[in-house]
Structure 1
């Protein structure tokens, strides 16, 4: 499943930005000329989705892949390798690695055309020893959960969507077992020869009930793009709810601020780059790979190694920030939100003030102007985490169809918030608490709009809700 982001003093999500145009055009990856070039010989067959609209109101057709087209996302292996030898440079190591990754790969799932094909394919690959039994069991469980969620949406041809998306997901999972992909400390989203970013969006989109989804203060997201164009660094301090968080951000913003979602670099814990069911989704995001604070001490013998690895990742982060125009997302709770055991109510997990302060200092020392904004996410229903933090890799993955929410509030200035603080530690705590209160306030408004069904009427004087895709 998609990424689990875990925050520590060194755990953040980052997005690089080099923008040259002030025009914002709704991003549709299947219609984008750049994306079409990336697919090269991929044959795309479209079926209609609800239209996207530009800021000026013009309608832009949106597409998804048919069963056949999704099964053809993997290019002919020989032509792919031949083309790649002349097109990759040092900045494209991730894509080059992925090209080699495709060789001698089974087509068991790409050739699937029915539910029976998929399920028998899992059994076939397990019996042949190409899929460990625990992975095979997880894939079958995931299939039923995903199917139930997508069918519950009531969307037309939902059954085809299930077969289409799961055939590609299973193919990528099998490939990851056959020839495990190795993530570098800084991993660039793989867009060729297979577009993992598009794959993630195609998989998550059917789980979002857009009629009951909302974005708070979308104009501030537009403001962020303007600052990025000017070379500024931006930090989004946020809660973290599900493995689907990055895709939810991208999908809710793609109609008006597509650049933000496509370029986010996410600092990801080691679990999402090792779990076979997570790795294909992780490969579709820009990552700074770290060891999660919550799992740092799972094995005492590995603690020192993990700390050194996180130090290397922080250096990568500092290098990116020095270049300017970076959009950084950090979830300083150290992991996903969990419901209150007594009431069952969900709320943003408390922030680790050290994580907030470390990120603030990294930005201040980058040499570029920096800004910190509080952001809130509500999307646990489509991919809820286990009730408790688990040590073992391979958590049970539930999937649902539900409304989601994303909101951002105005910039919070450290100097203004901490003007009356007497000590650095007091200032650190005050700044973190101010950010948390804003995130929590926005979260309550999203809850009112989505779970209490108040919709746009849940808007307040500080949070204006909208549905930019309408």
Structure 2
């Protein structure tokens, strides 16, 4: 009963925040856009082979200084001087030094495309990876150019040069993810690389953050040693970066410290791995793909057990922020209607997080959160078994919202009859099904449940619209 009732409330709250974000992104008035002003955006992307930090070009022009990075790769003496005694660090630096410069030297579109063919012919890029890279280039180019931003063409070349360079390195020297993976910040800063790559795809003028006061409250709890779990839907491979970028001006601590529960596909796909390396990850095998290969089922279950133990260890240390999507996969529209609904949650995932938080020994909190960023990197229409999905890319507004903390004890105290839980669930489901997720209809839906959402007042921060 406890699980069922709380599961229902959590899914409803998440659904509400989802529709709230969708409505606001679609219908709210535009506000002047100003470049993000947090230190991460003003400062430097550090390719930390040496102690140097090199300035970036402006956000409106080229996103990453490829030439500066090439010079750092070339600076072998500084690399040797800066090397440590750690085997992993030494191996990483060695792989960087012996790495092909094909894409780092690219200055034009022709350089990039010919570079892909060159590496494929040399046998350093498998044909399927090479074709995926070329397809990604054209999709990324079209998306960034559609933004109309000054210097967009230069941004495309510089960002894709670095992305291709990291993908090639990943094929030459495959990176292995541990059950708990810390974002790789040196010798190459993958965290900033991801931000620079995703940022040109976000229409910040038409993006929205709901209930920013709750995000601030959450950040305060983390600094006090509390654990926080965010339970939300999952829209695209860009979700973690979207969270960080939308909160960068108000709550940058969240973006840098969030730990994402990630499926195995984002740590095995050669085109996706470089972006995953820039995030803090707790790596698991999704239930949706658990039985894809019967011979690997036992291995996957054991790996998930190790990851669960890692998560428990982290929570015992306190000050942990964990994001999990209990659906186990990305949202997809109804194929018959095209309408959007958050993918159904796996009740056991919700309850596992509740138990882990309660037994961590540190104060713990669970918040329902919602994301809207499908159009930036939409998933395939159906779940695919094979690694190497087609990657579409778009330029679009995004939305992020959060609802007040869920108190399991308070929720279950109000309902002692299982039939009441079912009744509430069916009534809420009926309301959701009666309302189309369009801006014209969401307002009436939100009126019904307005008490769930802490004051949605629009203000004008440095980059995105913020509510609450």
Q: Is the TM-score greater than 0.5?
A: yes
Q: Write the deviation string for residues 1-54 of structure 1: whole angstroms up to 9, x where unpaired.
A: xxxxxxxxxxxxxxxxxxxxxxxx96322645896978733533422559xxxx
Q: Write the deviation string for residues 272-296 of structure 1: whole angstroms up to 9, x where unpaired.
A: 1111001100110111111111100
Relative to structure 1, is the Cα distance of residues 345 and 229 closer, same or farther in structure 2, using a 3 angstrom cutoff?
A: same
1:287 partner SS: strand
Q: 1:468 aligns with which of 456, 461, 466?
A: 461
Aligned to 1:160: 154
Kept in 1, the 8 Å contact 2:201–2:394? The answer is: yes
Matches within 5 A, 1:237-386: 237-386=231-380
1:201 aligns with 2:195: yes
In our comparison, the structure showing a higher alpha carbon Rg is 2
Q: 1:414 aligns with which of 390, 408, 431?
A: 408
Q: Write the deviation string for residues 139-178 of structure 1: whole angstroms up to 9, x where unpaired.
A: 0000000000000000001000000000000000000001
1:43 partner SS: coil
Q: Distance in 2 between matches of 1:249 and 1:74?
A: 31
Relative to structure 1, is the Cα distance of residues 189 and 100 closer, same or farther in structure 2, using a 3 angstrom cutoff?
A: farther
How many pairs are equivalent? 414
Aligned to 1:65: 64
Relative to structure 1, is the Cα distance of residues 45 and 333 closer, same or farther in structure 2, using a 3 angstrom cutoff?
A: closer
Kept in 1, the 8 Å contact 2:44–2:54? The answer is: no
Q: Write the deviation string for residues 56-115 of structure 1: whole angstroms up to 9, x where unpaired.
A: xxxxxxx943453465574634532441315x5xxxx87565334313100000000000
1:373 partner SS: strand
Kept in 2, the 8 Å contact 1:81–1:100? The answer is: no
Relative to structure 1, is the Cα distance of residues 97 and 282 closer, same or farther in structure 2, using a 3 angstrom cutoff?
A: farther
Q: Distance in 1 between matches of 2:460 and 2:393?
A: 23
Q: Which runs of 5+ in 2 are unaligned?
A: 1-35, 444-449, 464-468
Relative to structure 1, is the Cα distance of residues 35 and 105 closer, same or farther in structure 2, using a 3 angstrom cutoff?
A: closer
2:362 partner SS: coil
In the superposition, the TM-score normalised over structure 2's length comes to 0.81
Q: Write the deviation string for residues 170-195 of structure 1: whole angstroms up to 9, x where unpaired.
A: 00000000111111111110111100
Q: Distance in 1 between matches of 2:144 and 2:330?
A: 23
Q: 2:222 aligns with which of 216, 221, 228?
A: 228
Q: 1:216 aligns with which of 206, 210, 221?
A: 210
Q: Distance in 2 between matches of 1:74 and 1:444?
A: 53
Relative to structure 1, is the Cα distance of residues 39 and 282 closer, same or farther in structure 2, using a 3 angstrom cutoff?
A: farther
Q: Which runs of 5+ in 1 are unaligned?
A: 1-24, 51-62, 453-458
Q: Distance in 1 between matches of 2:73 and 2:383?
A: 35
Aligned to 1:393: 387
Kept in 2, the 8 Å contact 1:184–1:289? The answer is: yes
1:133 to partner: Cα distance: 0.2
Q: Distance in 2 between matches of 1:386 and 1:202?
A: 24
Aligned to 2:39: 28
Kept in 1, the 8 Å contact 2:44–2:53? The answer is: no
2:401 partner SS: strand
Q: Distance in 2 between matches of 1:359 and 1:129?
A: 45
Normalized per residue, the structure richer in helix is 2
Kept in 2, the 8 Å contact 1:214–1:465? The answer is: no
Q: Distance in 2 between matches of 1:191 and 1:173?
A: 17
Kept in 2, the 8 Å contact 1:67–1:160? The answer is: no
Kept in 2, the 8 Å contact 1:187–1:286? The answer is: yes
Q: Distance in 2 between matches of 1:132 and 1:117?
A: 19
Q: Write the deviation string for residues 408-445 of structure 1: whole angstroms up to 9, x where unpaired.
A: 1111110111124558x999x88x979x99xx89x999
Structure 1 vs Structure 2 CA RMSD: 3.2
Q: 1:40 aligns with which of 51, 54, 59?
A: 51
1:102 aligns with 2:113: no
Relative to structure 1, is the Cα distance of residues 193 and 349 closer, same or farther in structure 2, using a 3 angstrom cutoff?
A: same
1:335 to partner: Cα distance: 0.6
